[in-house]
C-alpha cells in the first residue's frame, strides 16, 4: 500500500509558548517609493537563536532598526523586554529595554576619531553593569589587538569584534547581531560563534536575533529561521525542519513528470528552480520521497538551498 499524499507543509516551533524577549507585530515602514516594510512580524523567544535571512536590501537591517526603536515605524508594534519602543518612547522605557540588549550593527556606529579608551568609557557611563574584565576577556579571545589608538584604525572585521566585546560586557539578555561575522576570517568567525554559544549556555533566558548572509553560521547556531524578501516576511521555520526534514532533488524532465503525476504531492505544492539541464526541487520530506522514488538522489536541504529555490523558483 502506497503512503498517503503529502499535504502542504506547516511547521510549528518548539518555542511557540516561550516568553518573548523581542517582538515585531505587523511592522510597516515606507522608506522610499521603491522600498517598504510591509506587515513584518517576527519574535525572539527566550533560549532561542533566530536567524534572519534574505538577499541584500531585503529589509533585515531596516527591520532591526525599527524593532530597536531607532527608526520610527509607520504602523505596527515593536516590543523589547516588555517595553514598546519607538523614537518617541519615554527615556525610562528605552533605558529599561536597551539596558538588556547588546547590539552588533552591520557598520561601526562610533565616530572615527574616538580612541578605544573613549569608546569603552562611553559604554561604562551608558550601562551601569558594564564589566571591564568581561570586555577584555572577549576582546582578547577574538584577537582584537591591544594597540588600537582610534576607531578609524579598525578593519570591518575588527569593528565587529569590538562591538561584540562591548555588547557582551554589559551582560544583556538579548543579543542582536546584524551581519556580525561579515569581514571575519574563518578562525575569527568560529571564535565569535563559540563565544555566542557560551554566552547562551550561561543563562537559558537569553536569546539572539542573528541577521547574516553567511548561512553556514546559522546552520550551526540557529533554532528558528525567518526569511524576508522585498520588505515582506516569506517564511518562519524551525531550522531543523529545513536541514533535518527537507531535501533537494535534481530531476530530468522525465523524472519531474513522474514525480508531479505520482500523487505524492498536493497540486501546486512543489517549488522548483529550472536549471540548464535539470530542475532542482525542494522536497518537504526527503525520507518519504526516497521511499517513493528510490532511484532519485535527494540530499539534505540547507538554508541557502531553501532560500534560493523559494525566492528564485516557481510553483510546479
Is it the case that residue 8 has pLDDT exceeding 70? no
Confidence at residue 89, expressed as pLDDT on a 0 to 100 scale: 66
pLDDT in tens, 116-134: 889 999 999 888 889 999 9
Confidence at residue 12, expressed as pLDDT on a 0 to 100 scale: 52
Averaged pLDDT for residues 164-173: 94
Higher-confidence residue of 106 and 201: namely 201
Is it the case that residue 37 has pLDDT exceeding 80? yes
- Confidence grade of residue 231 (pLDDT, cut at 50, 70, 90): very high
Confidence at residue 306, expressed as pLDDT on a 0 to 100 scale: 94
Q: At 186, phi and psi to the nearest 5?
A: -55, -35
pTM of the full structure: 0.90
Cβ atoms of 15 and 224 within 8 Å: the answer is yes
- Crossing angle of helices 116-126/132-142, nearest 10°? 140
Confidence at residue 18, expressed as pLDDT on a 0 to 100 scale: 85
Confidence at residue 80, expressed as pLDDT on a 0 to 100 scale: 92
- Confidence grade of residue 297 (pLDDT, cut at 50, 70, 90): very high
Is it the case that residue 167 has pLDDT exceeding 50? yes
Confidence at residue 157, expressed as pLDDT on a 0 to 100 scale: 87
- Give the contacts of 299 (CB within 8 A, at least 6 positions apart): 247, 248, 249, 286
**Distance from C-alpha of 105 to C-alpha of 213, rounded to nearest angstrom:** 14
Confidence at residue 14, expressed as pLDDT on a 0 to 100 scale: 67
Confidence at residue 207, expressed as pLDDT on a 0 to 100 scale: 96
Is it the case that residue 87 has pLDDT exceeding 70? no
Q: How many CB atoms lie within 10 A of CB 138?
A: 24
- Mean pLDDT over each residue of the chain, to the nearest integer: 88
- Confidence grade of residue 97 (pLDDT, cut at 50, 70, 90): confident
Averaged pLDDT for residues 77-91: 79
Cβ atoms of 232 and 74 within 8 Å: the answer is no
First to last CA, the chain: 26
pLDDT in tens, 255-286: 999 999 999 999 889 999 999 999 999 999 99
Confidence at residue 1, expressed as pLDDT on a 0 to 100 scale: 38
Least confident of 32-36, 91-95, 147-151: 91-95
Q: At 282, phi and psi to the nearest 5?
A: -90, 120
Amino acid at each position: 500500500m502506497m503512503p498517503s499524499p503529502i499535504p502542504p507543509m506547516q511547521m510549528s516551533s518548539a518555542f511557540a509558548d516561550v516568553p518573548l524577549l523581542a517582538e515585531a507585530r505587523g511592522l510597516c515602514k515606507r522608506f522610499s517609493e521603491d522600498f517598504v516594510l510591509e506587515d513584518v512580524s517576527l519574535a525572539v523567544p527566550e533560549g532561542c537563536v533566530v536567524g534572519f535571512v534574505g538577499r541584500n536590501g531585503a529589509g533585515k537591517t531596516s527591520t532591526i532598526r525599527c524593532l530597536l526603536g531607532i527608526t520610527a515605524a509607520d504602523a505596527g508594534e515593536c516590543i523589547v523586554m516588555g517595553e514598546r519602543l519607538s523614537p518617541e518612547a519615554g527615556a525610562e522605557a528605552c533605558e529599561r529595554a536597551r539596558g538588556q540588549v547588546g547590539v552588533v550593527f552591520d557598520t561601526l556606529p562610533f565616530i572615527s576619531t574616538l580612541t578605544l579608551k573613549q569608546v569603552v568609557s562611553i559604554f561604562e557611563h551608558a550601562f551601569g553593569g558594564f564589566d571591564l574584565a568581561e570586555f577584555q576577556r572577549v576582546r582578547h579571545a577574538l584577537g582584537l589587538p591591544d594597540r588600537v589608538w582610534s576607531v578609524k584604525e579598525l578593519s570591518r572585521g575588527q569593528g565587529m569584534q569590538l562591538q561584540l566585546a562591548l555588547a557582551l560586557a554589559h551582560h544583556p539578555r538579548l543579543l542582536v547581531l546584524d551581519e556580525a561575522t561579515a569581514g571575519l576570517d574563518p578562525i575569527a568567525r568560529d571564535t565569535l560563534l563559540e563565544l555566542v554559544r557560551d554566552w547562551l549556555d550561561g543563562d537559558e533566558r537569553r536569546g539572539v536575533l542573528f541577521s547574516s548572509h553567511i548561512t553556514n553560521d546559522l546552520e550551526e547556531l540557529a533554532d528558528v529561521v525567518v526569511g524576508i524578501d522585498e520588505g515582506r516576511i516569506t517564511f518562519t521555520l524551525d531550522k531543523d525542519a529545513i536541514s533535518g526534514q527537507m531535501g533537494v532533488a535534481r530531476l530530468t524532465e522525465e523524472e519531474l513528470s513522474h514525480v508531479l503525476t505520482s500523487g505524492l504531492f498536493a497540486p501546486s505544492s512543489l517549488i522548483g528552480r529550472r536549471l540548464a539541464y535539470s530542475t532542482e526541487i525542494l522536497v518537504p520530506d526527503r525520507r518519504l520521497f526516497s521511499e517513493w522514488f528510490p532511484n532519485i538522489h535527494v540530499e539534505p536541504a540547507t538554508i541557502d538551498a531553501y532560500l534560493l529555490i523559494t525566492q528564485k523558483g516557481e510553483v510546479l
